């Protein structure tokens, strides 16, 4: 992976795709599941579960089935998702079934009569790539935090040592730290306020340089 790929990946991440990206999200994004899911009425699934919905304009409201709800805080939206504003849970029809029947993703698909559909070799490759990219981004973000801590510590130590230089012998011994401090300060600036591309160049230099 090079700088260009990683920045594209990071951009992708920002766009929100990866914020929910796990195997389920990847599966949900799969065309066959998406189409079948869209064909299901969330309202009828929720009502079928015994939740009493009341129509309110284009929305439906109910007492939330997931907490002791006195006033209706559970909403079903026309775009096919639901949300409880009190317990802050929500999602699509699959998430509702998973939570209501306390089952896993595969069981929810079965309950809804959604056929999982086989991923083609090409789709599997895409999923693999997306997962790999996501792991890379996670590693990178972790490195960013760790590196900033580490470099800040180095700067503090170097400043302390340099501040105590009193003799020529000291300078002989520790003078190189001036150069080190400059470099670390520069790295710290990048880590604190640089863009992802600059950070990634530093990451590359540190790990693959
Ligand atoms: Zn609730």
Same domain flag for 83 and 156: no
Q: Tens digits of per-residue pLDDT, 3-46?
A: 566 666 655 544 433 333 456 666 666 777 777 777 788 999 99
Cα 191 to middle of ligand 1, angstroms: 41
Q: Tens digits of per-residue pLDDT, 164-207?
A: 888 888 888 888 888 889 999 999 999 988 888 888 888 888 76
pLDDT of the residue at 16: 39
Cα 67 to middle of ligand 1, angstroms: 5
Domain annotation covers residue 32 = no
Same domain flag for 14 and 58: no
Cα 30 to middle of ligand 1, angstroms: 29
The answer, as to whether pTM is greater than 0.95, is no
Cα 52 to middle of ligand 1, angstroms: 14
| Residue range(s) defining the domain that contains residue 55 | 46-99
Cα 36 to middle of ligand 1, angstroms: 27
Q: Tens digits of per-residue pLDDT, 93-117?
A: 999 999 999 998 889 989 999 887 6
DSSP string, the chain: --HHHHHHHHHHHHTTTGGG-SHHHHHHHSHHHHHHHHTS-HHHHHHHTT---EEETTEEEE--TTS--SS--EEE-TTS-EEETTTTEEE-HHHHHHHHTT--HHHHHHHHT----PPPHHHHHHHHHHHHHHHHHHHHHHHHHHHHHHHHHHHHHHHHHHHT--SHHHHHHHTHHHHHHHHHHHHHHHHHH--HHHHHHHHHHHHT-
Domain annotation covers residue 28 = no
Same domain flag for 175 and 124: yes
């Amino acid at each position: 992976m090079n700088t260009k790929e990683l920045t594209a990946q990071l951009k992708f991440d920002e766009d929100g795709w990866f914020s929910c990206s796990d195997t389920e999200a990847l599966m949900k994004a799969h065309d066959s599941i998406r189409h079948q899911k869209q064909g299901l009425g969330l309202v009828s699934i929720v009502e079928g579960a015994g939740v009493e919905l009341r129509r309110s304009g284009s929305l439906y409201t109910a007492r939330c089935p997931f907490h002791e709800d006195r006033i209706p805080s559970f909403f079903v939206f026309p775009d096919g998702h639901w949300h409880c504003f009190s317990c802050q849970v929500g999602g699509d029809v699959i998430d509702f079934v998973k939570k209501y029947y306390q089952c896993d993703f595969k069981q929810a698909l079965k309950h809804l009569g959604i056929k999982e559909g086989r991923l083609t070799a090409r789709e599997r490759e895409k999923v693999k790539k997306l997962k790999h990219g996501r792991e890379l981004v996670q590693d990178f973000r972790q490195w960013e935090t760790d590196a900033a801590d580490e470099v800040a510590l180095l700067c503090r130590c170097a400043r302390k040592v340099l501040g105590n230089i009193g003799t020529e012998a000291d300078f002989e011994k520790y003078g190189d730290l001036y150069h080190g401090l400059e470099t670390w300060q520069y790295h710290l600036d990048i880590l604190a306020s640089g863009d992802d591309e600059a950070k990634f160049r530093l990451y590359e230099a540190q790990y693959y340089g």
